[in-house]
Structure 1
Amino acid sequence: MKIKNEKDFFAGLLFLALGTAFSWGATMYPLGTAATMGPGYFPLLVGILMAVLGVLILFKALVIETEGGGRFGAWAWKPVIFVLGGNLVFGLLLAGFPALHVPALGMVVAIYGLTVVSSMAGDEFSLRQSLLLATVLALGCYLVFVLALGMPLPMWPGFLSA
């Protein structure tokens, strides 16, 4: 059987693999019933839907001819590096790195680090826009997680809030 669209084929495989893994992982938790759902019920349904979507995308990639065959282009390394780097910076700033004596700096500083580093992934970088976005995100996280949900998150570095 010939692959008629490479991008859809590999996207379908990804959805199928993730959906299957999600569904299998969800069976480790009590499922319950539709009336009294357990902690594994929703992840199981989402995993099954992802797997079915993957099968449909795979079918389309193998049956429907596309112009150019949906070939992969070159990897966009800059966005990959900066987006992954932004997440790494977020984790390091939020939790700290005790082995290197780096203290946890809290949610606000971590959001600013994540936003600025991840913003460098695009073709155009504006520090002003990144800082504005980080401010909106930090305020939103504070409103949702701390005020609305009452989660005890460290919003500021320990030396500022003590």
Structure 2
Amino acid sequence: MSDAPSHAPEKSILPSWVKGPQDFIGGLALVAIAAFALWASSDLQGMRGFSFGAGTAPRMFGILLLGLGAAVTVVGIFTEGPGLSKFHWRGPFFVALAILVFAVGIRPMGMIFAAMSSFLIAALGTHETRWKETIIVGACLTGFCALLFPYALGLPLQMWPTFLIR
């Protein structure tokens, strides 16, 4: 047996008229995200005259993303492109988990602990993380946020956990 890659044709679940599977699937994903954004913003007030409503920007970006996704899908149909590659779940999983931990933890744990913990959880998304540098960068970014939001922007954020304040 040889370790050389075989030149056998790749078997695809997509129809034969799709020449660029990666572009085609990516375009469909963008269209799906745009459709969700348009649906989610459908009950928000739109633009009236020259004043923007709460739903103006989401609808505008949704329509732009819909057009871009449709264009990428068409490119995938008519242009030769790479096949589908394996999708790695580790990065998106840990980034989504970090966002969730921050959203759930900001009130009870305060901004300092929520920001630092979400930064460290997001760093788990790759096996290339160097923990010494990650902790230093996380501490610097958390310190910057601790100065920026309450002092520079004047936002009333709770910095420390509620059990430490009382």
Shorter chain as denominator, the TM-score bin is 0.7 to 0.9
Aligned residues of 1:94 and 1:105 also touching (Cα < 8 A)? yes
Q: CA deviation at 1:63?
A: 0.7
Using the aligned pairs only, state the percent identity.
Answer: 26
Secondary structure, aligned partner of 1:150: coil
Q: Which of the residues 42, 51, 68 maps onto 1:27?
A: 42
Count matched residues: 151
Deviation at 1:157, TM superposition (A): 0.8
Partner of 1:83: 95
| Counterpart amino acid of residue 116 in structure 1 | L
Q: TM-score, normalised by structure 1?
A: 0.79
Q: 2:79 aligns with which of 64, 78, 81?
A: 64
Q: Which amino acid is the alignment partner of residue 112 of structure 2?
A: V
Unpaired runs of 5+ residues, structure 1, are: 96-103
Indicate the residue corresponding to 1:93 in structure 2: 105
Larger Rg: 2
Judged with a 3 Å threshold, the aligned counterparts in structure 2 of structure 1 residues 127 and 148 are, in CA distance, closer, same or farther, namely same
Q: Supply the distance in 2 between the matched residues of 1:40 and 1:92 (Cα, whole angstroms).
A: 26
> TM-score scaled by structure 2?
0.77
User: 1:46, CA displacement in angstroms?
Assistant: 0.7
Amino acid at match of 2:57: F
Q: In structure 2, what is the Cα distance between the partners aligned to 1:106 and 1:45?
A: 34
Once the 2 structures are TM-superposed, how far is the Cα of residue 56 of structure 1 from its aligned partner?
A: 0.5
Q: Is the 8 A contact 1:115 1:133 kept in 2?
A: no
Structure 2 unaligned spans of 5+: 1-15
Q: Secondary structure at the match of 1:105?
A: helix
Q: Which residue of 1 aligns with 2:68?
A: 53
Report the aligned-residue RMSD: 2.2
2:21 aligned residue: 6
